[in-house]
Structures are given as structure tokens and as C-alpha cells.
Amino acid sequence: MKNILMSIKIKLKKNNFRVGILFLVLSIFMSKLYFELGLINRIILLFNIGMYLMISGYLLINDSLIRKTGKSLIYPFKIITKIFFKKKFLENINKLREKNTNKSKIYYSRTYRHLKVNYLRMAIFFIFFVIPSMILFILSYSDISRYIVLMVQNISANYINPDMMEVKSSYFLPFLGDLYYLDIKGFLPTQNISLLHIVITVVLGIIIRFSFRNQMHVRIYLLVVLFIHLTSALYMYFGANMFPYTLSDYSELYMKQQIGIWLSIFSIVTLLSGAINYSGFSKFVFVIAASIYSLIFGIIRYCVFLGIMHNFSLIFMTSFFFSFGPFIDFLYLVWMYSIFMRYITKRFNNKNGVVKWYWA
């Protein structure tokens, strides 16, 4: 508890301007969605915007006060602590502060060092940022999917006849509205095309089997990708008429899957960053960047996949599903996470960060 109070004070002083601006931008961005939502969603949205504006206002005022007078609004916290906590406790906080500032220059070695957990900071992050954002997303997925589908329809009109596309909706989650997807015509490959795919895949497989001698990991990866495509080509050759999906089915499944991916990515990203005891701007940047990237990547991939399957048959569906589906989503998630963790690791090993480690 003593760490919590101290860290709130120190960290807010440093970052309140940047975080304040972030909340302001978020509230402006969210306010643009107001007219597009239903009644319940509007109430939730207003609640969120209000909360974000309050946080933003508090932080910005606090920042200007610190700049002008050197004192911050966080000062009332001290009065509260004096009322609720004993004198000895406050002395301990001061001792802890002294310990942090006058720490020996010989820092702890890596073997048994660790950080102190700050549950309050985690709770604030989840209560004020993660949970409202997730609720907002879940309540708005129907609208989001509609926007995405309309966007994809516009983009795809460049290479697909607009008459062959139609926006449709289907039931997804109870009480939360339908999910929109693009109904689009596709076609099954002919036997000759399937045979051609079989031959090309097998030949490529043989070439790859005997190449990449020193890069066995790449060889196995490519062979798995080819194997998945080969199963598709064989299926289409021997039983194309039994193929259970149309392009429209795929389109619907893709959107359902994407909603799952977006929610998963957002929850994983927030869990990962929320677990890091660091109150910097980078945590928000990481979460927002990963979520936006995921959204944009999902839209681009939707356009590309639909375009390829519409123009070059459904033979690619299996590969798109298994080789270039969620597996790739996780690739960029890990990539972004690695950038975030690189930054955090650097911070915890510089002059100011290294004193935050504790021993055993």
C-alpha cells in the first residue's frame, strides 16, 4: 500500500500531461461514434467519454499546476493518508523514498532480482482503460463489422464487379446485434486447374525438400504450408462438388473469426502490458498500436483474400484459413510486443530504472 501511494504520486507527476492528452484524443475519437450507435451503446459511450474527459482534465490541470507552482493536485492524497494512516506508516514511506534515492551504486545482479508488483496500478489500468474499451468493442462489433464491410466493398470494387457483392448480416452473439459480412460470388476450380496446383505443389515440395539444407526450420515451415495447399488441391481434384463452403460462407466465417482475433489480441495485449509494472505512455501506445494494426491488417487481408478467391477460385481457401490466418496475426502481435518489451527492458536498466529492482 505504501508503494502504491508513493508510485502514484511520483509517476503521475512525470506523465500526466502525455496521458492527459491521450485521454482527450480518445474521448474526441469516441465522440465521433455517437451518432452511429444505438441507445444503450450511446449511454455506455457517454459514460466512457465523461470518464475520459474527467481523467484528462484532472491530469492537464495537474500538469500546469506542477509547472507553475511545483505543487500538484495529488497533494490531497497526502491529507487523506494523514487522516487514515498512522504516523509510523508515513515515516516508513519517507524511509522507502530515501532508500530509493540514496541507493548504492552497486546494483543487484540478475540472479535473484525482481520488481515489486503494483496491483492498484494494474487495477486502474484495467478498470479505466481495458474494461470500458472491451465493453465498447463488444457492444459495437455489429457497427464495426458494418463499417469494415462497407469499406472492403468500396476497395474491392476496383477488381470485383460491384453487382456481384452484397452486404449481408447473420446472427452472432445474443442481444448484441448481427454480424455483417460481404456476400460475394466465388467459383470452384476445374479439374485441370486442380491438377495444375497438385503438380506445382509437388514439384515445389520436392525442390524445397532438397534445398534449404542449412535452414531446416524454413524448409519444414514451407513444406507444411505446401502440404496444406496440397490437401486442398487434392480435395478439389477428386471431390470439388462436395466442398462444403462457398465464398460467402468463408466471408462470414472470416468476420466471425476476426471479431475473435480482435478481442483476443486486445485482451492478450492488455494482459501482457498490464502485467508490466511500468506507468509509462508506452503501455497505451502498445495497446492502441497493436489494436489498430490488427484492425487494419484484418481489413487488408479480407480484401486480398476475397479478391484472390473471387478471381482465382476457392482452391486457396484452406491455405488462407490455416497458413495465413491467425498464425500471422500472432506474428505481428509478438513483433509489437518485442518492441514494447525492448523499450521497457531498456528503461529498467538505465540510471533511473535499475534502482527499481529488489533483491530476493
Task: Using CB under 8 A, list all residues that contact another protein.
Answer: 109-117, 172, 214-218, 220-221, 224, 228, 231, 235, 243-245, 253, 256-257, 259-261, 264, 268, 272, 275, 277, 318, 321-322, 325-327, 330-332, 334-335, 337-339, 341-342, 344-346, 348-349, 359-360
In the numeric block, which cell numbers belong to residue 18? Answer: 502525455
- Check residue 130 and report its DSSP letter: I
In whole angstroms, what is the distance from residue 182 CA to residue 167 CA?
A: 5
CB 155 within 8 A of CB 303: yes
User: CB atoms < 10 A from the CB of 322, how many?
Assistant: 17
Which residue, 297 or 332, is less far from another protein as judged by CB? 332
Which residue, 157 or 271, is less far from another protein as judged by CB? 271
Grid cell 495529488 is found at: 74
Least CB distance to another protein at residue 345 (A)? 4
Least CB distance to another protein at residue 311 (A)? 22
In the numeric block, which cell numbers belong to residue 311? Answer: 478471381
Least CB distance to another protein at residue 146 (A)? 18
Which residue, 28 or 334, is less far from another protein as judged by CB? 334
User: CB atoms < 10 A from the CB of 77, how many?
Assistant: 14
Report, in this order, helix, strand and coil percent for the chain, each rounded to 5: 75, 5, 20
User: CB atoms < 10 A from the CB of 295, how many?
Assistant: 17
Which residue, 101 or 109, is less far from another protein as judged by CB? 109
Contacts of 15 by beta carbon, 8 Å cutoff, 6+ apart: 279, 280, 281
Least CB distance to another protein at residue 172 (A)? 7
Which residue, 85 or 221, is less far from another protein as judged by CB? 221
Which residue, 64 or 170, is less far from another protein as judged by CB? 170
Least CB distance to another protein at residue 356 (A)? 12
In whole angstroms, what is the distance from residue 150 CA to residue 273 CA?
A: 33
In whole angstroms, what is the distance from residue 316 CA to residue 195 CA?
A: 14
Total residue length of the chain = 360
In whole angstroms, what is the distance from residue 304 CA to residue 28 CA?
A: 32
Which residue, 117 or 203, is less far from another protein as judged by CB? 117
Partnered with residue 165 across adjacent β-strands are: 184
Least CB distance to another protein at residue 86 (A)? 26
In whole angstroms, what is the distance from residue 180 CA to residue 245 CA?
A: 18
Least CB distance to another protein at residue 87 (A)? 28
Least CB distance to another protein at residue 328 (A)? 9
In the numeric block, which cell numbers belong to residue 23? Answer: 485521454
Which residue, 152 or 236, is less far from another protein as judged by CB? 236
